[in-house]
Amino acid sequence: MQISGAQMVIEALIAEQVEVVFGYPGGAIMNVYDEIYKQKGFQHILVRHEQAAVHAAEGYSKVSGKVGVAMITSGPGFTNAITGIADAYMDSIPLVVISGQVPMSLVGTDAFQEIDAVGISRPCTKHNYLVTDASDLARVLKEAFYLARSGRPGPVHVDIPKDVTAQIANFDYSKDVEIETYKPTVKGNVRQIKKAIEAIAAAKRPLLYLGGGIVNANAADLVREFSKITQIPAVETFMARGVLHHADPLLISMLGMHGSYAANMAMSETDLIIGLGARFDDRVTGKLSEFAKHAQIIHVDIDPASISKIVNAHFPIVGDVKSVLETMIPLAKEQIDPTRYDAWHKTIANFNKLHPLGYSEEGDRIKPQWVVERIGQLLGEDANISTDVGQHQMWTAQFYPFSRPRQWISSGGLGTMGFGFPAALGVKRADPKRVSINITGDGSILMNIQELMTAVEYDLPVVNVILNNNFLGMVRQWQTMFYDKRHSATDLSLQPDFVKLSESFGGIGYRVTTKEEFDAALKDAVEKKVVAIIDVVVNRFENVLPMVPAGGSLFNMMLEYKEK
């Protein structure tokens, strides 16, 4: 089939069964947008900023499990999008990002809206391409989707010069992808798996360390089965919230910098870590020399570069978590006595009794933790929860009753303010039957507030709950604790009227100062099914606790903060 490069892009997206593209047009990508106008194979959602296009694609991907697609133009269009691409790279989210580029004859001449997109994206993509001939487009696009979704998922960038989108060439999308240098290991080494099971059977205080790779591998059901069979207690990373049901008696809670006392102490006292799809990042380990000093480590991950990268694994297993667990479960049934760990369970129960995760209700303003808990009580499993980045994000991770994987959508590795709202739009597009909630702060929400227009235009009724403390809260907390209360550039006392702001775009808004007002506002916002902002006035100086200070040991937590 002889067609133009622009038509090839459309045909490839349809062949990949893409149902929505988030994008923003411009000169270099105009030929492709002309073909988007003519087609009916997928929906295009026009965002109001290129960063939002990628975040929306991330939210869509996180909930659906499919490859998210974003489309942008050259120059500033691409540089605006790079934050989203880097965010997806850090959190292993499968995306294909297609950008326009200046014509080949102008590449390297500092032409209008030219930027070295491939050079810029190389450090933060799984792979990237500059397509110089339309005859390569079918192969490149098929490879891009394959690379994005296989192995350790991630964003793949395809940069297409404008003249290439106009070229006529043969289009054949039927060929299988064959990349000699890319062969992900899916099945784990059986000998290593058997050794790991023997180590578990011999351990006295084993601990399941659950990471976001479980969600990517769609392996949560197998993790739940393995946990139930073995009766091994579990901690979840920030990215793994919802892998185990919040009411599962074997789930201790989240661990790490803002993890619970019980979770962090369990990690400090365990004699065997069973790491599944987790990468031992600094927010989990704290001071490396003090991390899990008594433990041997089983590390299962599809990315061989992640294993022993930070913490040495005694039992390294390269493979897809789902495939590895399918091998482990029958062996576990045969060899592991679930009553062996009764004393360990009692130890963990004592940790929970000593310092349970909670907060004080003192003060005349609503506590932000209560808001998170209340959303969970009112909506529970019927909501998908997105967040921006900051204190509100940590309170949500700590206090929301997550019950299933892909319910929790947040920026982990990069920590991107402005992520939550556009991501929640993608979430709503992927799962329209559930309520899409974005829990945010008065700092983060303004970073992509323009997407209120996108929400209205495409009927994506996201409910934005602002925990408004008139601060850049997390930075303020650090300044209070470690910088002698020098609150430099963090006071946000001057803010817009968020109710009027939402209404000006065509949404609805509420300002809330009491619990009763919050209940009424949330109920009304959900029922009206239009984009909403609920501006909740919360305690200004509330801190996220527990907290492991930067560089501190995991077992040396700040459980409270007293004013000096």
Tens-digit pLDDT profile for residues 15-45: 999 999 999 999 999 999 999 999 999 999 9
> How confident is the model at residue 470, as a pLDDT?
98
Contact 4, 165 (CB under 8 A): yes
Tell me which residue has tokens 């704290």.
286
What length is written for the chain?
A: 564
Tens-digit pLDDT profile for residues 392-450: 999 999 999 999 999 999 999 999 999 999 999 999 999 999 999 999 999 999 999 99
- The identity of residue 154, as a single letter, is G
Q: Where are the domains of the chain?
A: 2-170, 190-354, 368-537
Tens-digit pLDDT profile for residues 70-91: 999 999 999 999 999 999 999 9
| 236 is a catalytic site residue | no
> How confident is the model at residue 564, as a pLDDT?
64
24 burial level (CB within 10 Å; 0-12, 13-18, 19+): buried
DSSP helix/strand/coil, 465: strand
Distance CA 73, CA 85 (A): 14
Contact 518, 377 (CB under 8 A): no
Tens-digit pLDDT profile for residues 107-152: 999 999 999 999 999 999 999 999 999 999 999 999 999 999 999 9
Identified catalytic residue from 113, 335, 450, 495: 113
Identified catalytic residue from 16, 50, 143, 269: 50
Picking from 100, 136, 285, the residue whose alpha carbon sits closest to that of residue 211 is 285
Q: At what angle do helices 5-15 and 137-149 cross, to 10 degrees?
A: 30
The CATH classification of domain 368-537, taken from the options 3.40.50.970, 1.20.1090.10, 3.40.50.300, 3.40.718.10: 3.40.50.970
- The identity of residue 412, as a single letter, is G
First to last CA, the chain: 74
CATH architecture of the domain with range 190-354? 3-Layer(aba) Sandwich (3.40)
- Res. 563: pLDDT tops 80: no
Identified catalytic residue from 254, 394, 417, 474: 474
> How confident is the model at residue 1, as a pLDDT?
86
| 417 is a catalytic site residue | no
Identified catalytic residue from 39, 112, 482, 560: 112
Contact 557, 261 (CB under 8 A): yes
Distance CA 195, CA 200 (A): 9
Half-sphere exposure of 447 (CA within 13 A, CB side): 23
> How confident is the model at residue 364, as a pLDDT?
86
Picking from 543, 215, 531, 529, the residue whose alpha carbon sits closest to that of residue 368 is 543
**Do 2-170 and 368-537 share a fold?**
yes
> How confident is the model at residue 534, as a pLDDT?
98
| 562 is a catalytic site residue | no
Picking from 258, 281, 255, 253, the residue whose alpha carbon sits closest to that of residue 268 is 255
Tens-digit pLDDT profile for residues 168-226: 999 999 999 999 999 999 999 999 999 999 999 999 999 999 999 999 999 999 999 99
Picking from 302, 336, 307, the residue whose alpha carbon sits closest to that of residue 319 is 302
| 162 is a catalytic site residue | yes
- Kindly report the CATH number that applies to the domain delimited by 2-170: 3.40.50.970
Distance CA 315, CA 323 (A): 17
Identified catalytic residue from 162, 322, 367, 428: 162
Contact 241, 397 (CB under 8 A): yes
| 192 is a catalytic site residue | no
Does the reported pTM lie above 0.85?
A: yes
Tens-digit pLDDT profile for residues 90-101: 999 999 999 999
Taking CA atoms, 422 is separated from 161, 235, 384, in Å, by 28, 29, 14
Q: Tell me the residue ranges of DSSP E strands in 80-126.
A: 95-101
- pLDDT averaged over every residue in the chain: 97
- Res. 47: pLDDT tops 80: yes
> How confident is the model at residue 338, as a pLDDT?
94
